[in-house]
A and B are shown apart, each in its own frame.
Chain A
Amino acid sequence: MSTDAQLVAAGMLPVQQPQGGAMMGWRTLFYKEILRFWKVGFQTVGAPVLTAILYLLVFGHVLEDRVRVFGTISYTAFLIPGLVMMSILQNAFANSSSSLIQSKIMGNLVFLLLTPLSHWHWFFAYVASSVVRGLVVGLGVLLATVWFTTLPFVAAGWILVFALLGASLMGALGLIAGLWAEKFDQMAVFQNFIIMPMTFLSGVFYSIKSLPPFWLAVSHLNPFFYMIDGFRYGFFGQSDVSPWLSLAIVGSAMLGASAVAVHLLRIGYKIRS
């Protein structure tokens, strides 16, 4: 007889087993993380969309007649995919990192720590919800900016692949940062001194081929470059490096970051002592 059956037979209280199966636990956390950002939609979706439009207006206006990339493509058209991807990456990172650091500092992470959710449940819920936020913001930026110019969609499959991989990578990085940081200040260091420079210097606003040889080489070491370059290939059918190389690099980076994130969750790094 099972333990629960023994208990019930002895007139004792049974232990409630999950009705929705093990999946219901992670789905609840996934849904909660989405609702969390959706409730403050002006801040989490509206603001980044507006910021992207402003970048487009300012840089597009200044550089439209001065810069041609990929031959016939206008600068404004060149800029839009970069802005979309930058929004995806930054917001996917922000979702998991801000959720974790806020929960840790406010103390309500304890409600999750007391549940039967495994480290895999935590990982998939936080990363998947970060992907959703990244894609929602990215789609918002695209819909808001696509009217400014004619934008081709030469290989839409690549657009989706890089959007998903990039958002997953950043969701996993956000998880790692959220676990590691103990103060909002430390999170700000991660966000402003690592994530932001890497996204800005990855070819969003320019083709890296226009850089001097030294900085060109440095850009090739930046994984964000490959995400944006591959994403842009999906629109124009042209890129600075082969999309297959970008896929390999971004895919490996995503698997590596995920492995680290899962490991930190399994050992309860900084959340269980």
Chain B
Amino acid sequence: MSAISFQSVSKSYPSPRSPNKPFQALDRVSLQIERGEFFGLLWPNGAGKTTMISILAGLTRASAGSVSVLGKDVVTDYAQARRSLGIVPQELVFDPFFSVREALRFQSGYFGIRNNDAWIDELLRSLGLSDKASANTRQLSGGMKRRMLVAQALVHKPPVIVLDEPTAGVDVELRQTLWHFIAKLNREGHTVLLTTHYLEEAEALCGRIAMLKSGRIVALDSTSELLKAASSNVLRFKVDAELPAELAAKARVTGRIVQLPAHDAREIEAYLAAVREAGLEAHDVEIRKADLEDVFVEVMAKNQDAVADATP
């Protein structure tokens, strides 16, 4: 039995601008996340990510297909499914009427957990919120509110934890704190599903990754395999003028920085020759190993045409 199972899940939203063509947020997505995994979901901005988590959480209903958590269907057996899930939403929401401890006690009570103070204290300690236990949640800083959301998701000790962009807009120190904490939970046996735009984070934490574009899975493999399958190296340099056309087509250009995928020394040499022949000078030349961002860009580019063709 998988921790999370998406079976051919589709979700369409009516489009006010074109009533006959609803917006397809998810298109027959099938995915199994096994117990104990640390799984990453990556995709460009769009409705797909929020929709997937929302369907899992019961906030939205799928148009087709089914989703289950530890074997419990999220619609027909929602109570058991939700007991198994701890969801950390992306938005920094809070209830201004209550203190941190009160809010955590209520959350425990909703799940039927009595006398949870010992676990609440441990959560507050691990997340650095012990001295804010009596503070009104309105008074917390942004970083503290984010840690509070993590605590709220964990009061009922769910075996499956879902984090929706947990480190978006967060400072470096808090990001490290959250990474350590989440990785520790995973080592202790919690299944973790992470959505993120920070590919460095996905590469550091996730064992397996799915990439989605326009509501479909375009890549699904272990992190190490994805990195192996992509070009093993990247040639990086700076130029002061525009690249020749045949290089520009393959390159990822950010300002003056140019990055080109290179499989071997012959390709590297060919690129540098092309730069020289165009009368340009390459500065700060460096050869580095491909990272997940390179994989992501390659996969997205490869699927750009495929998806465009498929869309009616």
Q: Do these two chains interact?
A: yes
Which residues of A come within 8 Å of B, CB atoms? 3, 7, 11-22, 24-25, 27-29, 31-32, 35-36, 39-40, 103, 106-108, 110-118, 268, 272-273
- How far in angstroms is the closest Cβ of chain B from A239? 40
Looking at B54, B97, B114, the one whose CB has the most chain A CB atoms below 10 A away is B97
- Whether A114 contacts B190 by the Cβ 8 Å rule is no
CA separation between A87 and B109, bound complex, in Å?
Answer: 31
22 inter-chain pairs at a CB distance below 8 angstroms, sorted by A residue, are A3-B70, A3-B72, A13-B188, A15-B80, A15-B159, A18-B111, A18-B113, A19-B112, A24-B112, A25-B112, A110-B59, A110-B89, A111-B152, A114-B57, A114-B59, A115-B111, A116-B78, A118-B79, A272-B58, A272-B59, A272-B60, A272-B61
Of A17, A111, A268, most buried by chain B (CB within 10 Å of CB) is A111
B36 touches A12 (CB 8 A): yes
Where chain B touches its partner, the secondary structure class is: loop
Q: Which of A13, A19, A28, A107 contacts B91 (CB 8 A)?
A: A107
A13 touches B57 (CB 8 A): no
Q: Does B305 contact A (CB under 8 A)?
A: no
Task: Point out the residues of chain A lying under 8 angstroms from B94, CB to CB.
Answer: 106, 108
B82 interfacial by beta-carbon distance below 8 Å: yes
Other than the known A116-B82, A273-B61, what 14 A-B pairs have Cβ atoms closer than 8 Å?
A3-B72, A12-B36, A22-B112, A24-B112, A25-B109, A40-B97, A110-B89, A111-B152, A114-B85, A116-B80, A116-B111, A117-B110, A118-B79, A273-B54
Contact A27 B109 (CB under 8 A): yes
Taking a contact as CB atoms under 8 Å apart, the answer to whether A116 and B60 are in contact is no
Residues of B within 8 A of A (CB): 1, 35-36, 54, 57-61, 70-72, 78-80, 82-85, 87, 89, 91, 93-98, 102-103, 106-107, 109-114, 152, 156-159, 188-190
**Bound complex: CA of A103 vs CA of B107, how far in Å?**
15
Is the CB–CB distance between B110 and A273 below 8 Å?
no
Nearest 9 pairs of A and B residues by beta carbon: A18-B112, A28-B109, A116-B79, A107-B93, A13-B159, A115-B110, A108-B95, A24-B112, A116-B82
**Are B80 and A12 within 8 A (Cβ)?**
no
**In the docked arrangement, what's the CA distance between A230 and B126, Å?**
58
* B80→A106 contact, CB < 8 A: no
Residues of A within 8 A of B72 (CB): 3
Instruction: Find the residue from B96, B107, B152 having the highest chain A CB count within 10 A.
Output: B107
Question: Nearest Cβ distance between residue A135 and chain B, in whole angstroms?
Answer: 21
The verdict on A113 contacting B58 (CB below 8 Å), with A3-B71, A16-B157, A118-B79 known, is: yes
In the assembly, what is the distance between CA of A7 and CA of B159, in Å?
10
Complex: A25 Cα to B114 Cα, angstroms = 10
**Contact A13/B111 with A116-B79, A116-B83 known, Cβ cut-off 8 Å:** no
CA distance in complex: A229, B34 (Å): 63
> Cβ of B189 and Cβ of A13 under 8 Å apart?
yes
Q: Which residues of the partner chain B approach A273 to less than 8 Å between Cβ atoms?
A: 54, 59-61
* CB-CB under 8 A for A20 and B112, given A12-B35, A110-B93: yes
B57: which A residues are within 8 A, CB to CB?
Answer: 113-114
Which residues on B sit within 8 Å (CB–CB) of A118? 79
Q: Could you tell me the distance between the alpha carbons of A107 and B93 in the complex, rounded to whole angstroms? A: 6
The residues of A that contact B93 with a CB separation of less than 8 Å are 106-108, 110-111
Q: Cα distance A21–B111 when bound, in Å?
A: 10
Measured in the bound complex, the distance between the Cα atoms of B83 and A35 in whole Å is: 25
* A17, B83: Cβ atoms closer than 8 Å: yes
Residue of B nearest to A121 (CB): B110
In the complex the two chains form, is A24's CB within 8 Å of B114's CB?
yes
- Expressed in whole angstroms, the Cα–Cα distance for A35 and B99 within the complex equals 12
B102 surroundings in chain A (CB, below 8 A): 35
Chain B residues, Cβ within 8 Å of A14: 159
Contact indicator B112/A12 (Cβ below 8 Å): no
Task: Kindly provide the distance from the CB of A24 to the nearest chain B CB, expressed in whole angstroms.
Answer: 5
Residues of chain A within 8 A of B158, CB atoms compared: 15-16
A20 & B107 in contact (Cβ 8 Å cutoff): no
**A residues within 8 A CB of B112?**
17-22, 24-25, 116
Given contacts A3-B71, A15-B84, A106-B96, contact A112 B157 (CB under 8 A): no
Task: Kindly state the separation between the CA atoms of A111 and B98 in the bound complex, as whole angstroms.
Answer: 13
**Chain B residue contacts of A268, Cβ below 8 A:** 61
Q: Report the nearest B residue to A22, measured CB to CB.
A: B112
| A95 → chain B closest CB, angstroms | 13
Residues of A within 8 A of B70 (CB): 3, 7, 15
Give the complex CA separation of A24 and B59 in angstroms. Answer: 22
Give the shortest distance, in Å, between A118 (CB) and chain B (any CB).
7
Q: Are A20 and B156 in contact (CB under 8 A)?
A: no
Q: Give chain B residues whose Cβ lies under 8 Å from the Cβ of A39.
A: 97
